[in-house]
Amino acid sequence: MGVEHIPVLVEEVMTFLRCEAGRTYVDATLGGGGHASEILKRSAPDGILIGMEWDEDALSEATGALRPFGDRVRIFRENFIHLPDLMKNEFVDGILLDLGLSSIQLEKEGRGFSFRGDGALDMRMDQRMDQTAADLVNLFSSEELESIIFQYGEERWAKRIARAVVQEREREPIRTVEALRKVIYRTIPKRYHSRRIDPATRTFQALRIKVNEELENLKKILDTGWKILKKEGRICVISFHSLEDRMVKEAFRRLQREGEMRILTKKPVTPSEEERKRNPRSRSAKLRCAERI
């Protein structure tokens, strides 16, 4: 049985995308297929969904979930940066990017995305990629690690953590989630261990972003993805940390100034209190939407 994945801000996304029959939508981050299923239900009987996912485990889960929709679904194992090439001269009515990790990725042992439990320090979204988080941790210099942890994790203890990692790997390579987690726990002073956020959160986030080039990929899709939208077509982006949200906000503002897009969300849309209680992982989600002019 697959891991249940609960999509975030579903009603809000469906409202902004204006899912209707006869329209074509792209879910460029399929995950477990939750958002895609809703898009297909609400665009019945003949709406089309083009799904993209570069994580093989998530793709398998989504393919199974979307099988009942038959030939209304076209699924590709691709990084979303390839969306414009994939579409060629086709245009669509809506695009969704959900930048969060799916439950499938977080819960499966051996992927290294979660610091709860143990397993290989991998963190690759696409297993075809060469570089793992363990490679970064064991091969990068202290200065390089500090820069990654500070820039992508916004971690105040970045320098201390980087130095501690280098000292530890001289004794023994850091290959597992638990080994890295122990280094971080020992390095951050106990009085700064937060009850709300695990001390390892920011470092693990930073390594994952670096391994998968997440911010570089987001910049590419924000620069090019909107070009496949029809007039009045809409793009919705769900982000989960400040670096992503800032990039989306600035890209939409630039496109609005250039007369290409109209911003639909003056402020990001966030989950209701009810949704946060039902799905704690939704608490940091922010949704921004824009419409092609």
pLDDT digits (tens, 9 = 90+) for 68-106: 999 999 999 999 999 999 998 899 999 999 998 765 565
Q: Is residue 146 part of a domain?
A: yes
- Cα–Cα distance, 2 to 291 (Å, whole number): 35
Reply yes or no on whether the pLDDT at 168 is more than 60: yes
One domain, residues 197 and 259:
no
Residue 188: its pLDDT value, please? 96
Strands 261-263 and 286-292: antiparallel
Three-state DSSP state, 232: strand
Same domain? For 223 and 286 the reply is yes
pLDDT band at 194 (very low <50, low <70, confident <90, very high): confident
Average the pLDDT over 266-289 and give the result: 95
| CA distances, 120 to each of 58, 134, 185 (Å) | 18, 8, 18
186 and 226 part of one domain: no
Which residue is associated with the tokens 């971690």? Answer: 155
- The radius of gyration of the chain's CA atoms, rounded to the nearest angstrom, is 20
Last residue of a domain, one of 213, 232, 247: 213
Task: State which of 213, 233, 260 marks the end of a domain.
Answer: 213
State the pTM of this model: 0.91
What was the pLDDT predicted at 57?
87
Domain that holds residue 117: 109-213
pLDDT band at 2 (very low <50, low <70, confident <90, very high): very low
Task: Check residue 224 and give its pLDDT.
Answer: 96
Residues 68, 44 contacting (CB under 8 angstroms): no
The pLDDT of residue 89: 86
- pLDDT for 66: 97
Average pLDDT, the chain: 93
Evaluate whether residue 5 is within a structural domain: no
Position 1 scores a pLDDT of 40
Strands 48-52 and 24-27 come out as parallel
Question: Which of these three, 161, 178, 213, is where a domain ends?
Answer: 213
* Burial of residue 180, with CB atoms counted within 10 A of its CB: 0-12 exposed, 13-18 middle, 19 or more buried: buried
